[in-house]
Structure 1
Amino acid sequence: MPNVLSSRLTAEVRHGGTRRVQEYARGVAAARPVATGPTTGSGTVIAFWPDAELFETTRCSFAVLAERFRQVSFLNRGLGISLTDERPAGGARAVSFRFPDGVRDFVAALHAETGTFLPPDVIGFEHEDPRMAGTMEVALLWSGSHPERVRGFTNSRATRQGGTHVDGFRDGVAAAVTAYARERGLPAGDDAPRAARIGDGLTAVVSVKLDHPEYLGATRELLGNTEVRGCVGEAVREHLGRWFEEQPQRAAQIVDRILRTDHRD
């Protein structure tokens, strides 16, 4: 994508002890790759100049890039990303991101923004399901009484309007809470506790990586793959239900608060 949107782009590839460079002009190769000498290690460096004929401004925002790279690092566990801005007259500024616990770290960071106490138990799991031709990574926690904060992502892109992965997550949480309550004779009622009540104090990240994502609308912010909802819902119910069994004291606190709040309404 940067190649198409750039007035100029250079790609440097280090592999097999050789460094090769190729240049492009507005998406078209200016010449064949050229070997420029020996090198150690391996990797790729892309340098590009945004096309002023396509963009209103070609000045990059350090803050915007830093936030996006931080997000990508959260969504790809263990990935290290560094950003350096050499433009300031007073000297370069740089930031680095790497989160060994992936979306669990993401949930902890989102929760910290609420200013409420962070419990020690961020619930999280990864799961691969061939029925949706992809994987999911989910993390969540309940704490305080702030409004629900659920963030959905597909292939490391934010789906701000949600979609089938987020719907499946909510289905799974409701099913796990209801099953836990009924197994213990708690007043869960005939229907699952309402999503609005389950979401009270809930912070979560639902990230799916799909071979063939399908979106509804031109903005690509609403995931539409129908099979994803059932796959995510089943996995969330299974893993959250297991966590409830392994952490009975915390589970009782969470479910009791949800049911009492729901009953008062």
Structure 2
Amino acid sequence: MREAPSPTRVPEWVAADRANQPVVHCENLSRTYGSGSRSVVAVHDVSATIELGARVALTGPSGSGKTTLLHLFAGLDSATGGTIHWPALGGHPLAEPGRVGMVFQGPSLLPALSVAENVALPLQLAGASTKTSLPAAMESLRLLGISGLATSLPEQISGGQAQRVAIARALVSQPRLMLADEPTGQLDHATAALVLDVLLQACDALGAALVISTHDPVISARLEQRWTMSDGVLLGNSGTFGGAQ
């Protein structure tokens, strides 16, 4: 990876009448696991709005609820209290795969698929053919500087390379909301900076919102808005995009 990527095009499904609507809006959002004396409150009464074009750094100590909040934003987990809506997406993210890109903190590649097949998977789940999805996957890998890994299996690449593959997979469907959970945690500083360049330029070209959970002050300093989690509570934010109350 020696230079930042060229922008990608805005996906055709983006509706003009949703252009000024927030991509996520939640009120008193909560997520509790278990019940009774063994219950654990992972997210407590979070009210926030993420606008299209937002650049949010979600910070806080491990175990503070950042990952759970990202999963709620992605529609991968269900709230036990409060409400959440995705106005700019026209409905729940899982109704049409690809409108939210998610980069997970832990290993997430399917071991039986090659790198290129892993990256193409979101497009194929949305109904694209191999003929169209694999070239798109190769372009996404090129943007991350790892097209040479296309035929490798996940077990044949390093943890840092696997994380870059996961980012390529999240970008391939040209989402309107990109959520990344510690995406640079396994990368050296130079590669982390270039990966962030990829995320920022791709989201700029798509008009997408970007929320990154991170412990890295260098990463959070490059995002306009910073939110802090502590014991499941969103304490506050600074910046100009979106808002948390």
Q: Which has the larger radius of gyration?
A: 1
TM-score, normalised relative to structure 2: 0.28
TM-score, normalised relative to structure 1: 0.26
User: Which structure carries more relative contact order (alpha carbon 8 Å, separation 6+)?
Assistant: 2
